[in-house]
Structure 1
Amino acid sequence: MKLATDLPDTHTLRELMQFLHEEIGLPDHKTISLKTSINLDLGCNGTDAQHLMEALEERFGLELADYDAYRYFQPAGNDPHFKRNAKGRGSKVPLTIGMLYEAIKAGHWDTQALEG
């Protein structure tokens, strides 16, 4: 995996990058930065995304009360609710490594702050 040269050199970010490499695999041919989105750039969706976020919550003690998987990820399998035009269910918002990093540092997911 190639990491961008401007990544912060912190224990938390190193641990997050190792975690992501173990869980979803980080490609060798792409440079990974805080702006890399795990859903749009790395193609993590469905069951893989659900497992990733559950593992992230457990490993880092992250509180995900404000997290809505439908904002970021395509659902696993056939989800009849996905076809509805509900708020936040259309185009997916990029979920970046930087957002994960900031959430871990804060200890909780704050959608407005992380997407702002």
Structure 2
Amino acid sequence: MKLASDLPDTPALRELMQLLHEEIGLPDNKTIRLETAINLDLGCNGSDAQHLMETLEERFGLELADYDAYRYFQPAGNDPHFKRDAKGRGSKVPLTIGMLYEAIMAGQWDTQTLEA
């Protein structure tokens, strides 16, 4: 994986990048930046996205009370309940590595702050 030279060199970001590499894989041919969207640029969706967010919650003690998976991710392809709930939700908001990093540093998911 190629990391942008302007990424902060902090233990939290190193751990986040390692987790992303393990959980969803980071491409060798693309430079990873804070602006890289894990859903739109890296194709993370469905059960992979759900597992990733659960792992972030556990590993970093991240409070996800304000987090709405349907804003960012397509539902798992074989669950008709999730497809029905997701109807009318429209296009997805980019969920960037920077947003994940900010949430980890704050200890909570605050949609309004992270998307600003």
Residue in structure 2 matched with residue 80 of structure 1 by the alignment:
84
Residue in structure 2 matched with residue 4 of structure 1 by the alignment:
4
By percentage of residues, which structure has more helix? 2
Residue in structure 2 matched with residue 96 of structure 1 by the alignment:
96
- Mapped partners of 1:82, 1:109: distance in 2: 20
Give 1:115's aligned amino acid: E
Post-superposition offset of 1:80: 1.6
Aligned residue pair count: 112
Structure 2 counterparts to residues 25-36 of structure 1, below 5 A: 25-36=25-36
Establish whether residue 63 from structure 1 lines up as the match of residue 56 from structure 2: no
Post-superposition offset of 1:81: 2.3
- Mapped partners of 2:86, 2:57: distance in 1: 24
- Mapped partners of 2:8, 2:70: distance in 1: 29
- Mapped partners of 1:107, 1:47: distance in 2: 23
Q: Give the TM-score normalised by the residue count of structure 1.
A: 0.94
Give 2:84's aligned amino acid: P
Give 2:115's aligned amino acid: E
Q: Give the TM-score normalised by the residue count of structure 2.
A: 0.94
Q: RMSD of the TM alignment (CA)?
A: 0.7
